[in-house]
Amino acid sequence: MSEPSSALGTDSAPAIGLDEVRATIAAALDLPVHEVTPDADLIGLGLDSLRMMALAGGWRKRGVAINFARLAAEPTAAAWASLLAAAPAVPLTPDPAPAPPAPPADPTDAFALAPMAHAYWAGRQAAELGSVAAHLSVEFDGAGVDPDRLRDAVHSVAQAHPQLRARILPDGTQRIGPDATRVSVVDLRGADAARVRAELDRLRDERTHQLLDIAAGRMWDVTLTLLPEGASRLHVDVDMIAADAVSYRILMRDLAAAYRGEAIAAPDYRYRDYLDRPPVDAAVRADDERFWRARVPELPGAPELPLSAAGRAGTALRVRRMHHRVDGAGKAAIEAAARTRGVTPAMALASVFAATVARWSAADRFLLNLPLFDREPVHPDIDGVVGDFTSSVLLDVDGTAPVTAEALQRTLHRNAAHGTVGGVEVLRMLGRAQGRQVLAPVVYTSAIGLGELFDPTVTATFGTAGHIVSQGPQVLLDAQVTEFDGGLLLNWDIRADAFEDGVADAMFEHYRASLRALADGTAAPGLPADQVRRRAEANATAHDAPPRTLHGRFFAAAAARPDAPAVLGDGAPLTYGELAAAALRVAGALRADGIGAGDAVAIHLPKGPGQVIAVLGVLAAGAHYVPVGYAQPPARRAAILAGSGARMLLDGEALAAALARDTAAPDPADTDPAEVAYVLYTSGSTGVPKGVEVSHDAATNTIDDLVERFALGPADRTLGVSALEFDLSVFDLFAPLSVGGAVVVMAEEAKADPAAWLDLTVRHAVTVVNAVPAVLDLLLARAHGSATGVPALRAVLLGGDRVCVDLIERTRAVAPAARFAGLGGATEAAIHSTVREVTGPAPAHWDCVPYGRPLRNVRCRVVDGASRDRPDHVPGELWIGGRSVALGYRGDPERTADRFVEVDGVRWYRTGDRGRYDGDGGIDFLGRADNQVKVRGHRVELGEVESALRSAPGVDGAIVRVVGEAHRAQLVAAVTGDSPAELDPAAVLAVVAAAVPGYMVPARVRVLDAFPLTGNGKTDRAAIGALLAGDAERAPARAPGSALERALLALVIEVIGADPADPPGVDDDFFALGGDSVQATALVAAIRDWLDAPAMTIAQVFAGRTVAGIATAVAEHDDPARLDAVAEVYLEVSALGADELAELIAAETAEAAASDTPEGDRA
């Protein structure tokens, strides 16, 4: 009779019938077989993903090619029996016989780390979110623990479990050695309460953040604190390179048994044997590799959570534990809710976590890292072995729609079905594909199904498990759920200083509320209540002012005070009476030509009084005006005229003719304020300019708020520096003319001359400057060199671009009494929409003035891709709503419908700008959505890099652009300052490197005397980008400059498999070239061997990153001249062909043999 394994090598799988399937499932669930009916929902019976994977693995071991994902798709016994009956066979090898007792470990016998353990070891030394250990630290509060018995028990456990005696070698391997465990005893029995509390806090902080000396074999640390009245606290900290969470339970169970005097027998199977077990079936492995290679291009990155400066730089170290307990009734309610959805409780809980992360992630799609405890049943003693048996699966989450447990479970089952390629390997695939080191720093661990957190004998012996913290390198947030005391314990271990203030607490409270909603069957929570309240207060802007026209108040003022000055400049001033008369003559001529309500009149005039006359004339005729820039190219001018439907063009000739005509001056038109006042054409993404239609009411709503807010009156003068086709000009004209003040205009030839602006400002005592920051910057530069400054200036209103904080003090230096405000908005929202006045010194963390809060009758939102409000500090699209919103785009209903939407009775403009709410109801402006770029897979907000550049001493302007492609793509920057000649690019970059991650540091900085400006006075980013791109084309990859650099470059090319015909430069990032932690380990080994550099460590690769940087790091610990000499030898040897090398070795061997032969024995 053949053995049960006789199916080996056959084409048919062993027969597994329905009854056997039911019995196998019942055993896994510890249920009577009769409860596992053929059509019962196995997930509803309690079958989770871990058990499902184990069942699939067991059937595969019996020769059935069954896939975990197929089992998960139809979770009934009947369906599984059908699947097993139809499944093909797989080739098998017999299960190995139980191994003989493990021989004593050879201290010279090193062996490899498991993939996850290697990642922990490499992460310890990484620059980004490194310098911490992967460890699990638990405090047990009990009584009467005896120090001597504890020491004996600890050493017994260490002898039974070799991994607790492992030493991690510099090359990333491990060796079992003698027990190096330390048991510390702290005696506080005689201390007062204050000292006890202080010492316990100190010990907790030390033990939960320590880096055990794993190179010396200190894989765990045990501290016993003896407390007054017989109490004790046992603190056990284990490095997870030696033991995963399940192994922690094993060693604590054994520690309790040894403490009670029970013998601890070493398992009859070694962890290192598990690592050496036969590999998985090659066909299965190849299929899994194909699956993940196909998925790599579509996989997202990590969640983009609101990080602090330390979090962004990857230097946050401190871990904070947050926890929530669910009692037995709550656990039952969650399990019932999961059953109704057809998902496991673990996935129901995971979906709550994923939805919380999605709410706070700026990226709608992201990866979660899910560790799996999947020790394979290769030996009867395997469940007693201590080691790192974890793998991980990456779960891609799509937050563009509400996250559901059903969708997550399908994704998990699909990904886990290809689990022979673990999450660590997938991250390396991503890294190679994207040319960077890819992290998955948000971790979700479910231990549901593994039983209670600790064996009852552990808590009976050492006390209740209280403070529990797990920490890991390159992890921002580690969430866990485990069964505890009949219910659930849900923990978050979070890098406390990595997040913006309040974010971690808000996220965790949302998580808790979502858990309650899951259990209660109620709707998931929205924004935190305090954030909803602050935003409602900020948006409480209702102001019941009657609508009006732009021109109405001017003509009323002209009738009341005709002799008051209205337009000032280089020529003779125009009084209100003169300006009104001229405007009405133009209106009369227009009406005589048939122009009236609803008509568009284009204005194509140079700067000066003529523009003011023309604008007022068009409005007085009942029409609306369409500015056409005086220097516009003919093609664009023609496109605007055609798109606007203008019935007439008022140029210099036409205006002169209208003023000369003998037509009756009409009364100003009584236009409906809801009608169009002007159409401004802005750049379109398709290359065709788009015309924004703005009503009288929208524009006057903005103007009236600012007039009242800054108390403008008849004595005020504005500087008309903005071009007529730029919406700031609307305020420049109509704010003063609505209150009896005057506008100071300049000639066309002076529009780009800061000296002329200053002259007009001083000569006419300008009191209000409303401009883009670049214009004020140029004006201040002139004013600083003047003798008098601009003492009449009392209000500075800046909008249209980022307002850098240096402008605040520079303004006060020349205009001490001036109020200073930054304003935000868009042409589509009538000039300005938000305001932030700065009344004192700018806060230290500002580099730009925030957007601030909405003006009257204006509301703001920051939303995600699904139009849901973003929480505080989370970037999203800025929406502006209310009375100042434009009517739409001229002649473009499709674009209008896309950008202007109505929600809950409010009309909103979707700006396409990125912003975020601060913690106080204000808004920070983050730039255009299209100002986000990807550099070697990293999503980079250029505004953040520019902010870091502006923080450098002497820098007051910065522009960053991306140049190059693929692995050569890099950030480059241009900066300006008050004293450009004194700016040192290297010093500027050093400041940036201290503020942002390495991938956000520009490769080069170019210092400019001044930024070029567009016709509207804004910084011309396109021109600067072209300049920087030209620099890049002239800067090829830098070649090695020394023998050491040449040798290191050769080793890097070999390790990463680069093309020697197109070698990287010595300044190219190792990880950007596709290197990962495994290849970094190989590079270290090669450097040690070939270049005789025994002090080389993987940390130096992480820190140096480039060939040049690594060369510097190596030379710091050795003689540079010796290293160069060794490198020359290596280069000579590596250049030899195989035959030449063989001849050289043979010759050296013969020479050595001859030198060893005694003189008398030689022929």
Secondary structure (DSSP) of 112-137: EPPHHHHHHHHHHH-SSS-SS--EEE
351-355, 917-921, 1146-1150: the lowest-pLDDT one: 1146-1150
Q: What is the domain partition of the chain in residue ranges?
A: 4-86, 111-272, 300-522, 552-910, 936-1033, 1043-1149
Residue 664 makes CB contacts below 8 A (sequence gap 6+) with 588
Measured in whole angstroms, how far is the alpha carbon of residue 560 from the centre of its chain? 59
- CA-CA distances (angstroms) from residue 933 to 30, 253, 613, 929, 992? 53, 52, 45, 9, 18
**Structural tokens at position 501:** 């203030």
**pLDDT at position 1160 over 70:** no
Alpha-helical segments (H) within 1094-1137: 1098-1104, 1107-1115, 1120-1134
What is the full DSSP assignment across 69-86? HHHHHS-SHHHHHHHHHH
**pLDDT at position 101 over 50:** no
Half-sphere exposure of 1108 (CA within 13 A, CB side): 11
**Structural tokens at position 725:** 């086709």
**Structural tokens at position 513:** 């509320």
Average pLDDT over residues 889-916: 93
C-alpha span between 1114 and 1126 (Å, rounded):
13
Confidence (pLDDT) at 876: 93
pTM: predicted TM-score of the whole model, two decimal places: 0.79
CA angle 239, 240, 243 (to 5 degrees): 105
How many Å is the Cα radius of gyration of the chain?
37
Residue 226 makes CB contacts below 8 A (sequence gap 6+) with 145, 147, 185, 186, 187, 188, 189, 232
Average pLDDT over residues 107-135: 77
* Largest separation between any pair of C-alpha atoms in the chain: 133
Coil, helix or strand at residue 599: coil
Measured in whole angstroms, how far is the alpha carbon of residue 1045 from the centre of its chain? 34
Average pLDDT over residues 189-214: 92
pLDDT tier for residue 1015 given thresholds of 50, 70 and 90? low
Residue 865 makes CB contacts below 8 A (sequence gap 6+) with 364, 400
- Report the CATH fold assignment for 111-272: Chloramphenicol Acetyltransferase (3.30.559)
**pLDDT at position 974 over 50:** yes
**pLDDT at position 1162 over 80:** no
Coil, helix or strand at residue 858: strand
**Structural tokens at position 444:** 């979700």
Q: Which residues pair with 370 in a beta bridge?
A: 393
Coil, helix or strand at residue 776: helix
pLDDT tier for residue 548 given thresholds of 50, 70 and 90? very high
pLDDT tier for residue 93 given thresholds of 50, 70 and 90? very low
Among the listed residues 1066, 920, 16, 1111, the one whose alpha carbon sits nearest the alpha carbon of residue 502: 920
**Structural tokens at position 601:** 């009149």
C-alpha span between 56 and 1149 (Å, rounded):
57
C-alpha span between 516 and 690 (Å, rounded):
49
- Report the CATH fold assignment for 4-86: 1.10.1200
Q: How many CB atoms lie within 10 A of CB 533?
A: 12
Coil, helix or strand at residue 63: coil
Q: SS3 string of 890-956?
A: CCCHHHHHHHEEEECCEEEEEEEEEEEECCCCCEEEEEEHHHEEEECCEEEEHHHHHHHHHCCCCCC
Q: In one letter, which amino acid is 945?
A: V
Q: Measured on CA atoms in the order 1102, 1107, 1108, 1114, is the torsion positive or negative?
A: positive
**pLDDT at position 394 over 60:** yes
Q: SS3 string of 251-271?
A: HHHHHHHHHCCCCCCCCCCCH
Half-sphere exposure of 1144 (CA within 13 A, CB side): 10
Q: In one letter, which amino acid is 830?
A: A
Confidence (pLDDT) at 1103: 78
Q: In one letter, which amino acid is 1009?
A: D
**Residue 366 contacts residue 330 (beta carbons within 8 Å):** no
Q: What is the dihedral of CA 358, 360, 362, 364, to 10 degrees?
A: 10
pLDDT tier for residue 860 given thresholds of 50, 70 and 90? very high
Contacts 24+ apart (CB under 8 A), 1020-1027: 1021/959, 1021/961, 1024/959, 1024/961, 1024/974, 1025/959, 1025/961, 1027/974
Q: Does domain 936-1033 have CATH number 3.30.300.30?
A: yes
Average pLDDT score, the chain: 86
**Structural tokens at position 892:** 């473009």
Residue 1 makes CB contacts below 8 A (sequence gap 6+) with none
Helix axes 405-416, 345-360, angle to 10 degrees: 110
Among the listed residues 44, 14, 13, 49, the one whose alpha carbon sits nearest the alpha carbon of residue 31: 44
Average pLDDT over residues 168-172: 89
The percentage of the chain sitting over the pLDDT mark of 70, rounded to a whole number, equals 90
What is the full DSSP assignment across 1135-1146? TS-HHHHHHHHH
Helix axes 728-737, 696-709, angle to 10 degrees: 70
Q: How many CB atoms lie within 10 A of CB 129?
A: 23
Among the listed residues 155, 187, 344, 339, the one whose alpha carbon sits nearest the alpha carbon of residue 264: 155
Confidence (pLDDT) at 47: 78
pLDDT tier for residue 69 given thresholds of 50, 70 and 90? low
Coil, helix or strand at residue 334: helix
Write the pLDDT tens digit of every residue in 281-315.
788 889 999 999 999 888 888 999 998 888 777 77
C-alpha span between 109 and 114 (Å, rounded):
16
**pLDDT at position 363 over 70:** yes
- CA-CA distances (angstroms) from residue 1102 to 309, 665, 993? 20, 78, 15
DSSP 646: -
C-alpha span between 48 and 683 (Å, rounded):
55
Candidates 3.60.21.10, 3.40.50.2300, 3.40.50.12780, 3.40.930.10; CATH matching 552-910:
3.40.50.12780
Q: Does domain 300-522 have CATH number 3.40.50.300?
A: no
Confidence (pLDDT) at 369: 92
pLDDT tier for residue 967 given thresholds of 50, 70 and 90? very low
**pLDDT at position 643 over 50:** yes
pLDDT tier for residue 106 given thresholds of 50, 70 and 90? low
Measured in whole angstroms, how far is the alpha carbon of residue 58 from the centre of its chain? 41
Asked if 4-86 and 1043-1149 have one fold, the answer is yes
**Structural tokens at position 1110:** 């690594």
pLDDT tier for residue 67 given thresholds of 50, 70 and 90? low
Alpha-helical segments (H) within 649-690: 652-660
Measured in whole angstroms, how far is the alpha carbon of residue 71 from the centre of its chain? 36
Write the pLDDT tens digit of every residue in 437-483.
778 889 999 988 777 778 899 999 999 998 888 877 788 899 999 88
**Structural tokens at position 791:** 């003492």
Confidence (pLDDT) at 819: 96
Q: SS3 string of 542-561?
A: CCCCCCCCCCHHHHHHHHHC
First-residue to last-residue Cα distance in the chain: 72
Coil, helix or strand at residue 1099: helix
- Report the CATH fold assignment for 1043-1149: 1.10.1200
**pLDDT at position 767 over 90:** yes
Q: Measured on CA atoms in the order 147, 150, 156, 159, is the torsion positive or negative?
A: negative
C-alpha span between 698 and 692 (Å, rounded):
12
